[in-house]
Structure 1
Amino acid sequence: MRNFLMAFLAFLPVSLMAQGWQLVGFGGVANYQGDLQDRRFTTQQAQIALGMGIQYDINKYFSVRGMANYGRISADDRFNKDAGLRNRNLNFKSQILEGSIQAIFRFMDLETKKWSPYLVAGVGVFGFDPYTHDTLGNKFYLQPLGTEGQGLAAYPEREFYKRVQLVIPFGGGVMLRVNDRITLGYEVGLRKTFTDYLDDVSTTYADPDQLLAARGPLAVELAYRGDELKNGSANPNYPTGSVRGGPEFKDWYYFQGITVNFRLGSGGRSGYNGKSMGRQLDCPRNIY
Structure 2
Amino acid sequence: MKKIIAILMLCFIAANVEAQMLKPTSGLILSERYDSSITLKKGEYIVQGEVVIAKTSLLTIESGVKLFFMPGATINVKGGLHVTGAANDLVQFSSAGGKESGTGLVISGSTPNQDIKISYASFKFLLKPLLFEKNWYRSGVEVNNSDFFNTYEFNDAVSIKEVEFYLNKQPIEFIFKENVFADNYSNISVYNATSYRVKYTFEKNVFANNLYFDSRTKAESNPVYVALDNIQSKYTMKIYNNMFSDNYIFTQDSLKQIDHGTIGYLNPKEDFVTVNNFTKNPVEKRYDQKEPGYNVHAFPLELSENGKKVSQKIPVDSLAGKKIKIHFNTSIAKDQKDYKVFYNFIDTITGEILKKQIDGNYYFSHAAGNEADFGFESTVISEPIGYISIENLKNTDGVSVPSVNVGIIDFFEKCGSRSYKMENVTLAPIDIAKHNMLVDTTQNAIIPLDSIKVGKWEVALFGGISGYAGDLNHDWMHQEKWYNGIALKLRYHINRNISAKLALDYTNISAKDYGLYNRRALSFKSNIWALSFMGEYNFTDRYSLNRNRYAHGLGRKIYPSFGIGLGLVKFNPKAQYADGTWYELRQFGTEGQTAPGGKKYSLITVTIPMMAAVSYRINDNFKISAELTGFKLFTDYIDDASKTKYVSDATVRAANPNNPDVASYFRNPGKNIGARGNAKDKDFIYMLGFSLNYRFKNKRDREQD
Q: Normalising to structure 2: TM-score of the pair?
A: 0.32
Which of 521, 536, 539 lines up with 1:107 in the alignment? Answer: 539
Which of 633, 644, 652 lines up with 1:211 in the alignment? Answer: 652
Aligned to 2:474: 38
State the Cα deviation string for residues 152-193 of structure 1 (Å, max 9, x = none): 13xx3x421100111100020201101121110011111111
Q: CA 1:142–1:195 in structure 2 vs 1: closer, same or farther (change >3 Å)?
A: same
State the Cα deviation string for residues 224-266 of structure 1 (Å, max 9, x = none): 222xxxxxxxxx231xxx5210001111111111011112236
Higher helix proportion: 1
CA contact (8 A) 1:33 1:41 kept: no
What is the deviation of 1:39?
Answer: 2.0
Which of 649, 662, 672 lines up with 1:237 in the alignment? Answer: 672
Q: CA 1:186–1:269 in structure 2 vs 1: closer, same or farther (change >3 Å)?
A: farther
Which of 211, 222, 225 lines up with 2:669 in the alignment? Answer: 225
Please tell me whether residue 179 in structure 1 is matched to residue 619 in structure 2: yes
Higher relative contact order (CA 8 A, sep 6+): 1
Q: Tell me how far apart the structure 2 counterparts of residues 46 and 246 of structure 1 sit (CA, whole Å).
A: 24
Q: Normalising to structure 1: TM-score of the pair?
A: 0.76
Q: Tell me how far apart the structure 2 counterparts of residues 143 and 190 of structure 1 sit (CA, whole Å).
A: 24
Q: Tell me how far apart the structure 1 counterparts of residues 490 and 640 of structure 2 sit (CA, whole Å).
A: 33
Q: CA 1:42–1:184 in structure 2 vs 1: closer, same or farther (change >3 Å)?
A: farther
Q: CA 1:20–1:83 in structure 2 vs 1: closer, same or farther (change >3 Å)?
A: closer
Q: CA 1:40–1:20 in structure 2 vs 1: closer, same or farther (change >3 Å)?
A: same
Q: CA 1:237–1:67 in structure 2 vs 1: closer, same or farther (change >3 Å)?
A: closer
Aligned to 1:5: none
Aligned to 1:12: none
1:254-273 → structure 2 map (5 Å cutoff)? 254-265=686-697
What is the deviation of 1:42?
Answer: 4.6
- Measured on the aligned residues, the alpha-carbon RMSD in Å equals 2.3
Q: Tell me how far apart the structure 1 counterparts of residues 590 and 604 of structure 2 sit (CA, whole Å).
A: 19
CA contact (8 A) 1:20 1:269 kept: no
Q: Tell me how far apart the structure 2 counterparts of residues 81 and 210 of structure 1 sit (CA, whole Å).
A: 26
CA contact (8 A) 1:64 1:101 kept: yes
Q: Tell me how far apart the structure 1 counterparts of residues 487 and 581 of structure 2 sit (CA, whole Å).
A: 29
- Structure 1 segments (4+ residues) deviating >6 Å: 266-270
State the Cα deviation string for residues 191-240 of structure 1 (Å, max 9, x = none): 111110000001121100121122122110111222xxxxxxxxx231xx
Q: Secondary structure at the match of 2:518?
A: helix
Q: CA 1:42–1:58 in structure 2 vs 1: closer, same or farther (change >3 Å)?
A: farther
What is the deviation of 1:118?
Answer: 1.1
Q: Secondary structure at the match of 1:264?
A: strand
Q: Tell me how far apart the structure 1 counterparts of residues 467 and 497 of structure 2 sit (CA, whole Å).
A: 30
CA contact (8 A) 2:517 2:675 kept: no
Q: Tell me how far apart the structure 2 counterparts of residues 100 and 132 of structure 1 sit (CA, whole Å).
A: 27
Q: Which ranges in structure 1 are unaligned for 5 or more consecutive residues?
A: 1-17, 227-235, 271-275, 279-288
Q: Tell me how far apart the structure 2 counterparts of residues 261 and 84 of structure 1 sit (CA, whole Å).
A: 46
Amino-acid identity (%): 29
What is the deviation of 1:129?
Answer: 0.2
Q: Tell me how far apart the structure 1 counterparts of residues 599 and 676 of structure 2 sit (CA, whole Å).
A: 16
Q: Which ranges in structure 2 are unaligned for 5 or more consecutive residues?
A: 1-453, 547-555
Q: CA 1:212–1:186 in structure 2 vs 1: closer, same or farther (change >3 Å)?
A: same
Q: Tell me how far apart the structure 2 counterparts of residues 201 and 185 of structure 1 sit (CA, whole Å).
A: 35
CA contact (8 A) 2:488 2:504 kept: yes
State the Cα deviation string for residues 11-43 of structure 1 (Å, max 9, x = none): xxxxxxx94211111111111111110124555
Aligned to 1:126: 569
Q: Tell me how far apart the structure 2 counterparts of residues 128 and 161 of structure 1 sit (CA, whole Å).
A: 11
1:60-139 → structure 2 map (5 Å cutoff)? 60-77=496-513, 80-82=514-516, 84-85=518-519, 88-111=520-543, 113-139=556-582
